[in-house]
C-alpha cells in the first residue's frame, strides 16, 4: 500500500513537471505538425505519414499476426502428438 502511494505521488510530480516544462506541447506539435522540438526543422507530411503507417503496421503485426502464428504452431504440435498416440485407446485427446 505504501509503495503504491509513493509511486502515484512520484508519477504525479513527474507529470506536473513535464506539463510545466512544455514536453507535452512539444510532443503534440511533433505528432500533429511534424515540427522537431528545439529546432526550426519541419518534417514533410509524406514522411510523417509513412512513419505512422510503419508504426501501425508494426503494432498490427505484433498483436494480430504473431498471435495467429502462435495458434498455428500450437495446432501443429497437437496434430503431431495425436499421430504418435495409439489409435485404439487415444483416438481423441
User: Tens digit of pLDDT for each residue in 50-93?
Assistant: 999 999 999 988 888 888 888 888 888 777 777 766 666 655 65
Pair 62, 48: CB distance under 8 Å: no
Instruction: Indicate the DSSP class of residue 22.
Output: T
pTM over 0.75: no
**Chain-centre distance for alpha carbon 16:** 25
How far apart CA 16 and CA 10 sit, in angstroms, is 10
The cell for 66 is: 504473431
Place of cell 502428438: 81
Q: What is the pLDDT of residue 69?
A: 87
Q: Which residues make beta-bridge pairs with 35?
A: 42
Amino acid at each position: 500500500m505504501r509503495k503504491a502511494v509513493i509511486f502515484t505521488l512520484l508519477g504525479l510530480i513527474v507529470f506536473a513537471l513535464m506539463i510545466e516544462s512544455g514536453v507535452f506541447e512539444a510532443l503534440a506539435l511533433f505528432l500533429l505538425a511534424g515540427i522537431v522540438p528545439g529546432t526550426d526543422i519541419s518534417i514533410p507530411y509524406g514522411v510523417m505519414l509513412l512513419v505512422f503507417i510503419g508504426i501501425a503496421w508494426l503494432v498490427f503485426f505484433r498483436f494480430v499476426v504473431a498471435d495467429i502464428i502462435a495458434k498455428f504452431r500450437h495446432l501443429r504440435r497437437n496434430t503431431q502428438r495425436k499421430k504418435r498416440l495409439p489409435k485404439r485407446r487415444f483416438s481423441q485427446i
